[in-house]
Amino acid sequence: MLFFVAASLHAQQKIIPIQISLYNESTAIPFTRLVTTPIHPGIQIGTEFTYKENEHFRLFQTVNLSYYFHAQLNHGISINTELGGEYLTNSRFSFGALIGVGYLHTFATTKEYVFEDGHYTIATDKGNARIAPSLSLDVNYRIKKIEPTSPKIFVRYQSWIEYPYSPGFIPLMSHINLHIGAKFNLPLNTGK
């Protein structure tokens, strides 16, 4: 349903916005650190559609697919959507805030064992399903100042929660992602 709405809104816009970012994922308390080490790489690709726009403000929604690898913890693939607002300045810069929710499926990066019939055996890892609400802040730089559909580069600080993490032990795990990415628009061929 969400993809149908996205396709119809893109048809009205006559462009398909594509957003790609590389990011560093970390298990950390949100808004306490900006850059974390070691690096746990991730990649995200998505699109967005605008609901309302004027000279200084834009209301939009995103749909994203992402993957990250955290060597000592897990690796995960997720799909999410965010509702965002962007303040457009008179310069090339704009500032945004996004609130979102997503589905995350994680897999262990190490072998897991189960105790059966008096001994341990290697468990089959089917992964874990979780919800992942998020809050993000970003700074954007438009390549062409006067064009609203100008390509842009951005830095995004994203805080998110993985729930349920370990029921009965640790109910949720907080994460931060620091994204560096670009957004560009592909023209939509309407056949006219």
Is the model's pLDDT at 5 over the cut of 60? no
Report residue 145's pLDDT band, with 50, 70 and 90 as the boundaries.
Answer: confident
User: Between residues 23 and 122, which one has the greater pLDDT?
Assistant: 23
42 near 58, Cβ under 8 Å?
no
SS3 at position 6: helix
Examine the pLDDT at 179 and tell me if it is beyond 80: yes
pLDDT 10s digits, 63-104: 999 999 998 889 999 999 999 999 988 889 999 999 999 999
Q: Can you give the pLDDT at residue 77?
A: 97
Q: Which residues of 100-115 are buried (b: 16+ CB within 10 A; e: fewer)?
A: bebebebeeeeeeeee
Domains present along the chain, CATH in parentheses: 2-21+35-75+87-110+125-187 (2.40.160)
Residue 173 phi/psi, 5-degree rounding, is -125, 125
Whether pTM > 0.95 for this model: the answer is: no
Query: 124-133 pLDDT, tens per residue?
Result: 788 899 999 9
- Does 111 score more than 70 pLDDT? yes
**Residue 164: pLDDT over 80:** yes
